[in-house]
């Protein structure tokens, strides 16, 4: 039989639960859970949401071994850091090896855990790994570190050609490992901005046929759409960080100061033979 006190007790219990929930701090790009002394971050890049997985344990940052590392483990990392969904889970240190202790290994998440260390694992500092196996994660979101935090460098160059005024376009953006510009939509207006930025004269050709080879990094930008009057390529509209270039080659440019003489003037992405 119910008594008059039971609704009151129930409301008090609900209030207490809500108070406890509200006391849990929001997750951030360096996620510190209620468990004292533990935290999580992605290191080695300009972006809080991609990098080498590191856990703060016993007063120091350590890495996570990539043994059995998969997309479900990466998903827990991205969700814990508030970085969206996992794009890629790598079992090697794409952004450079870490240092110090390896604190976790053989992590086996189901994908719905709140914290990485809640996933099944053999225990803290139990591993048979080295830093060439440091786990890496790429998430969908981007959260920039302040300028000067890591590799505060932005510059462009033409590579694979005979000199600095002809070649494949590569853009170094902070410490981003991606440098390639996809040739989808690449035309003479885009090439003109490149030539102006590099003080290489007038654009003679905008190449999309892979004349200067393919880069060994990843695509930084695609669908570049310059008007031709911009001072910098990064000032033009573009799509940032595509997954791949698809069927398109790396964008390339021939500027007048290269000394090359195209035998056919550019036709907005057509092949151009030069002498």
pLDDT at 8: 43
pLDDT at 1: 41
Structure tokens at 58: 């016993």
User: Is 81 inside any structural domain?
Assistant: yes
Structure tokens at 126: 């139990």
Question: Does residue 255 contact residue 195 with C-beta atoms inside 8 Å?
Answer: yes
Q: What is the C-alpha to C-alpha distance for residues 233 and 158, in angstroms, rounded to an integer?
A: 13
User: Is 184 inside any structural domain?
Assistant: yes
186 and 130 co-located in one domain: no
Q: Which domain holds residue 253?
A: 153-258
pLDDT, tens digit (0-9, with 9 covering 90-100), for 171-221: 876 556 788 999 999 999 999 999 998 889 999 999 999 989 998 888 888
Structure tokens at 261: 């003489």
User: Is 268 inside any structural domain?
Assistant: no
DSSP helix/strand/coil, 256: helix
| Ramachandran assignment for 157, one of left (phi > 0), alpha (psi -120 to 50 degrees), beta (any other) | beta
105 and 167 co-located in one domain: no
**Which residues are 137's β-sheet partners?**
51, 89
**Nearest to 135, CA basis, from 57, 176, 60, 77:** 77
Q: What is the C-alpha to C-alpha distance for residues 210 and 266, in angstroms, rounded to an integer?
A: 14
List, for the chain, all residue ranges whose pLDDT scores fall below the cut of 70.
Answer: 1-37, 144-154, 173-176, 263-275
The CA radius of gyration of the chain, in Å to the nearest whole number, is 25
181 and 210 co-located in one domain: yes
pLDDT at 169: 95
The CA–CA distances, whole Å, from 108 to 56, 105, 111 equal 19, 9, 9
- Model-level pTM greater than 0.75? no
User: Is 123 inside any structural domain?
Assistant: yes
pLDDT, tens digit (0-9, with 9 covering 90-100), for 242-264: 888 988 999 999 999 999 877 54
133 and 72 co-located in one domain: yes
128 and 180 co-located in one domain: no
pLDDT at 118: 92
Contacts of 146 (CB under 8 A, 6+ apart): none
User: Is 97 inside any structural domain?
Assistant: yes
Q: What is the C-alpha to C-alpha distance for residues 79 and 85, in angstroms, rounded to an integer?
A: 7
126 and 160 co-located in one domain: no
Domain CATH number, residue 204: 3.10.250.10
DSSP helix/strand/coil, 131: helix
Query: Is the Cα torsion angle 139, 145, 149, 152 positive or negative in sign?
Result: positive
pLDDT at 116: 95
Question: Does residue 172 contact residue 154 with C-beta atoms inside 8 Å?
Answer: yes
Alpha helices in the chain (DSSP H): 5-22, 71-80, 188-197
Rounded-to-10 torsion of CA 178, 184, 185, 188: 70
């Amino acid at each position: 039989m119910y008594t008059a006190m039971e609704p009151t007790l129930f409301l008090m219990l609900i209030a207490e639960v809500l108070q406890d929930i509200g006391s849990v701090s929001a997750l951030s790009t360096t996620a510190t859970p209620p468990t004292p002394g533990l935290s999580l971050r992605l290191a080695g890049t300009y972006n809080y949401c991609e990098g080498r997985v590191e856990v703060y344990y016993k007063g120091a940052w350590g890495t996570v071994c990539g043994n059995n590392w998969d997309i479900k483990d990466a998903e827990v990392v991205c969700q814990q850091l508030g970085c969206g969904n996992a794009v890629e889970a790598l079992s090697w240190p794409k952004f450079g090896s870490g240092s110090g202790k390896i604190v976790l290994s053989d992590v086996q998440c189901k994908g719905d855990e709140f914290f990485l260390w809640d996933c099944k694992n053999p225990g803290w500092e139990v591993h048979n790994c080295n830093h060439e196996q440091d786990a890496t994660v790429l998430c969908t979101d981007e959260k920039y570190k302040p300028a000067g935090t890591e590799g505060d460098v932005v510059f462009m160059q033409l590579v694979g050609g005979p000199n600095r005024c002809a070649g494949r376009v590569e853009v170094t953006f902070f410490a981003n490992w991606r440098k390639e510009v996809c040739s989808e939509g690449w035309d003479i207006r885009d090439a003109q901005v490149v030539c102006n930025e590099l003080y290489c004269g007038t654009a003679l050709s905008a190449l999309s046929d892979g004349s200067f080879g393919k880069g060994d990094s990843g695509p930084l930008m695609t669908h570049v759409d310059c008007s031709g009057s911009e001072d910098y390529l990064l000032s033009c509209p573009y799509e940032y960080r595509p997954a791949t270039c698809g069927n398109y080659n790396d964008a390339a440019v021939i500027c007048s100061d290269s000394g090359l003489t195209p035998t056919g003037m550019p036709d907005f992405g057509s092949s151009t033979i030069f002498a």
